[in-house]
Amino acid sequence: MYKNVIADIPGIEYYPIVALLFFFGFFIGLMVWYFRADKQKLESIALMAIREDLVLEPVPNSAEGN
């Protein structure tokens, strides 16, 4: 019964392909962001979760100075 309901949706054969493309697009975008991110800033954010007494000093942005 449910098989017939799903089969009647127009364009249903493209849904898994689009979902897979969204997944890989998000995953690749996340990887690009991670490798381009400022490692010093990520380290200070990671330490904030462990140490409550840590005062975060702003990291100068190299793009603003030039």
| 39-60 confidence digits (pLDDT tens) | 888 888 788 777 766 566 666 7
d(CA 17, CA 22): 9
Q: How confident is the model at residue 8 (pLDDT cuts 50, 70, 90)?
A: confident
| pLDDT score at 55 | 63
Site of tokens 């030039």: 66
User: Does residue 65 have a pLDDT over 70?
Assistant: no
- Domain extent at residue 12: 2-65
CA dihedral 12, 15, 17, 23 (to 10 degrees): -170
Q: Which amino acid is at 28?
A: I
Residue 64 pLDDT exceeds 60: no
- What total number of domains does the chain contain? 1
pTM over 0.95: no
